[in-house]
């Protein structure tokens, strides 16, 4: 998998100071192979790799991340970018009803999606009407009726085996003509105050001209606000040709990926997005109506990379670490001038990352701080924080001035015992001395890099 491959090549990067051209090439080779493995189309892979190389070359060496993390971040950012950045929302018509037409191969999940969309729209106070225009496949109409019932949405369908002309719909159209049913469905929605119409259409197992003609006919008859191309994420390399055929034959405004509960790694998402330029709007993750969500590019990116945990740690590390501040602190540590203010800042930065025990290990050069805090749990840290906050800026900057009367005032002010204040101040001086001597032993240039 990409995760395995990247982990392998990233291991080689660990400990290096900056990204060299050959580092970048080595990682890109792995990413390329892995994306092909994940069924991303070749031209898409090529374009992707080219962008990664460009960005990696120009990347600033971050103080918060080591080179390995930095490469992963670049790959992830690019992937999120291609997958669409922010999720696009449905476009609603100024004059209801909003018409949403579903198109895609048979079995891609259109009818199921119709129910999911209806359910989801209902939670947002819309009043969707489902329209059954798959008159090809036996049972398709009743499938939509079942799905609509589950979603609590009305379904417009021709009566089985009859012309719907004389029926209660009084439409005067042939039951066998999906275009007429679609047109009548929209009229029905307008008459009965449904603000959204979802048109379920027929699909074929493969692309064929008749299918496309019919879909285009429905499109022309109903002027949809959205045409959603429904794509089975398991389709792999066929995603590109299928998407292109639907783009040429019908056109679509958005993509829905289905069957993401399977083990597909998401190569189809990347290919279709890149080749058609259309946003992926929704994701379907199971057979139940609630197995559905708007599409999240960031989640898909980490699925494709298979590195979700690593990515969220990188994100946290980046938000809490300010390079300049880290460097200043390192200099102060090296010269034994760390203040309680710095100490508190460091502690706050580390705490933002969650339970300290799990997280200190991933900070580049957090060793000293980790040692200094090793015996301190989160609850104790709360107290330490309260004590330092109870000090004046002058006391924080120069803890030597914290005499007995000051200690009493600080203890009272922060609701702790004087002995707690004593302990903190003692520990601070110890830690400061220890860190300075460690930094000294490593030599200043090394110490500056190590201690962040
Ligand atoms: P259509 O031919 O495009 O209308 O596809 P259907 O909606 O009939 O779906 C085909 C099959 O795929 C049905 O058995 C659905 O239950 C199933 N299905 C649809 N969406 C999903 C999904 O997201 N995950 C899984 N596991 N099955 C799905
Ligand atoms: Mg169907």
Strand pairing class (226-232; 128-133): unpaired
Q: Find the mean pLDDT for residues 169-181.
A: 67
Distance (Å, rounded) from C-alpha 332 to C-alpha 108? 61
Q: Which atom of ligand 1 is nearest to the CA of 284?
A: 23
Two tokens at 301? 């990116």
Q: Find the mean pLDDT for residues 347-363.
A: 54
pLDDT tens-digit profile of 244-270?
999 999 999 999 999 999 888 788 999
Res. 163: pLDDT tops 50: no
Q: Which residue has the tokens 């991340």?
A: 65
pLDDT at residue 250 in the model: 96
C-alpha distances in Å from residue 211, one per residue of 72, 136, 157: 43, 10, 19
C-alpha distances in Å from residue 10, one per residue of 6, 64, 67, 310: 6, 17, 8, 12
pLDDT at residue 248 in the model: 95
Two tokens at 379? 């609850």
The verdict on whether omega for the bond into residue 153 sits within 30 degrees of 0, i.e. cis, is no
Does ligand 1 come within 6 angstroms of the Cβ of 284? yes
Query: Which ligand has the shortest distance to the CA of 261?
Result: 1
Residues constituting the chain: 452
Q: Find the mean pLDDT for residues 158-183.
A: 62
Does ligand 1 come within 6 angstroms of the Cβ of 70? no
pLDDT at residue 332 in the model: 74
Contact 79, 178 (CB under 8 A): no
Give the single-character DSSP code of 362: G
Strand pairing class (280-284; 292-294): antiparallel
CA 448 to chain centre: 35
User: pLDDT grade, residue 169 (50/70/90)?
Assistant: very low
pLDDT at residue 166 in the model: 38
Res. 136: pLDDT tops 50: yes
Does ligand 1 come within 6 angstroms of the Cβ of 115? no
Query: Which ligand has the shortest distance to the CA of 147?
Result: 1
Beta-carbon neighbours within 5 Å of ion ligand 2:
110-111, 134
Distance (Å, rounded) from C-alpha 270 to C-alpha 417? 59
For the CA atoms of 79, 82, 87, 93, the dihedral, rounded to the nearest 10 degrees, stands at -170
pLDDT tens-digit profile of 192-240?
999 999 999 998 888 888 889 999 999 999 999 999 999 999 988 889 9
pLDDT tens-digit profile of 54-91?
888 777 666 666 666 677 788 888 888 888 876 688 99
8 backbone dihedrals φ, ψ, rounded to 5°: -60, -50
pLDDT tens-digit profile of 278-311?
999 999 999 999 999 999 898 888 787 766 555 5
Res. 327: pLDDT tops 90: no
Q: Domains of the chain, with CATH numbers?
A: 2-86+307-315 (1.20.120.140), 98-295 (3.40.50.300), 322-450 (1.10.260.30)
Phi-psi region of 402 (alpha: psi -120 to 50; beta: other; left: phi over 0): beta
427 carries a ligand binding annotation: no
Q: 282, 287, 292: which to mutate for ligand 1, most atoms within 8 A of CB?
A: 287
329 carries a ligand binding annotation: no
Query: Which ligand has the shortest distance to the CA of 205?
Result: 1
Give whichever of 25-39, 120-134, 168-182, 285-299 has the largest mean pLDDT: 120-134
Contact 170, 73 (CB under 8 A): no
Two tokens at 97? 């009803």
Whose C-alpha lies nearest to ligand 1, atom 26?
Answer: 286
pLDDT at residue 324 in the model: 56
Flag the least confident range among 26-30, 332-336, 381-385, 441-445.
441-445
Instruction: Note the maximum CA span of the chain.
Output: 98
User: pLDDT grade, residue 368 (50/70/90)?
Assistant: low
Q: Which residue has the higher pLDDT, 102 or 390?
A: 102
User: pLDDT grade, residue 168 (50/70/90)?
Assistant: very low
Distance (Å, rounded) from C-alpha 14 to C-alpha 269? 31
Q: Which atom of ligand 1 is nearest to the CA of 134?
A: 4
ipTM of this complex? 0.99
pLDDT at residue 433 in the model: 80
pLDDT at residue 439 in the model: 65
Contact 163, 229 (CB under 8 A): no
Segment (H or E) for 227: strand 226-232
pLDDT tens-digit profile of 431-452?
788 777 766 665 543 343 333 3
């Amino acid at each position: 998998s990409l995760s395995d491959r990247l982990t392998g090549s990233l291991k080689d990067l660990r400990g290096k100071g900056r990204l060299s051209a050959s580092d970048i090439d080595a990682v890109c080779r792995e990413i390329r192979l892995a994306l092909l493995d994940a069924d991303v189309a070749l031209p898409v892979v090529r374009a992707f790799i080219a962008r990664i190389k460009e960005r990696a070359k120009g990347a600033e060496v971050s103080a918060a991340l080591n080179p390995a993390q930095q490469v992963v971040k670049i790959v992830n950012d690019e992937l999120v970018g291609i997958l669409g950045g922010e999720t696009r929302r449905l476009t609603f018509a100024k004059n209801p009803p909003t018409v949403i037409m579903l198109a895609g191969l048979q079995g891609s999940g259109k009818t199921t999606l119709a129910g999911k969309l209806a359910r989801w729209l209902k939670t947002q106070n819309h009043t969707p009407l489902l329209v059954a225009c798959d008159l090809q496949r036996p049972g398709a109409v009743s499938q939509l009726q079942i799905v609509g019932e589950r979603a609590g949405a009305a379904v417009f369908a021709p009566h089985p085996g009859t012309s719907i002309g004389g029926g209660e719909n009084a439409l005067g159209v042939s039951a066998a003509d999906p275009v007429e049913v679609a047109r009548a469905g929209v009229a029905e929605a307008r008459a009965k105050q449904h603000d959204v119409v979802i048109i379920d259409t027929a699909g074929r197992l493969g692309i064929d001209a008749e299918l496309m003609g019919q879909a285009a006919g429905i499109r022309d008859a109903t002027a949809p606000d959205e045409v959603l191309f429904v794509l089975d994420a398991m389709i792999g390399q066929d995603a590109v040709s299928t998407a292109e055929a639907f783009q040429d034959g019908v056109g679509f405004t958005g993509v829905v990926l289905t069957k993401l509960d399977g083990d597909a790694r998401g190569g189809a998402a990347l290919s279709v997005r890149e080749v058609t330029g259309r946003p992926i709007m929704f994701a379907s993750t199971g057979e139940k109506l609630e197995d559905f969500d708007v599409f999240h590019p960031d989640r898909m990116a980490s699925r494709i990379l298979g590195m979700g945990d690593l990515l969220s740690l990188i994100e946290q590390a980046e938000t809490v670490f300010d390079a300049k501040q880290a460097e200043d602190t390192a200099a102060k540590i090296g010269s034994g001038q760390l203040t309680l203010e710095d100490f508190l800042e460091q502690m706050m930065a580390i705490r933002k990352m969650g339970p300290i025990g799990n997280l200190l290990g991933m900070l580049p050069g957090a060793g000293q701080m980790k040692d200094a805090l090793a015996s301190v749990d989160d609850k104790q840290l709360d107290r330490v924080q309260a004590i330092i906050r109870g000090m004046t800026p002058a006391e924080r900057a120069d803890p030597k001035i914290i005499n007995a009367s000051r200690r009493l005032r600080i203890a009272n002010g922060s609701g702790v015992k004087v002995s707690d204040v004593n302990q903190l101040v003692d520990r601070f001086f110890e830690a400061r001395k220890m860190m300075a001597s460690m930094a000294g032993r490593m030599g200043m240039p090394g110490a500056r890099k190590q201690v962040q």
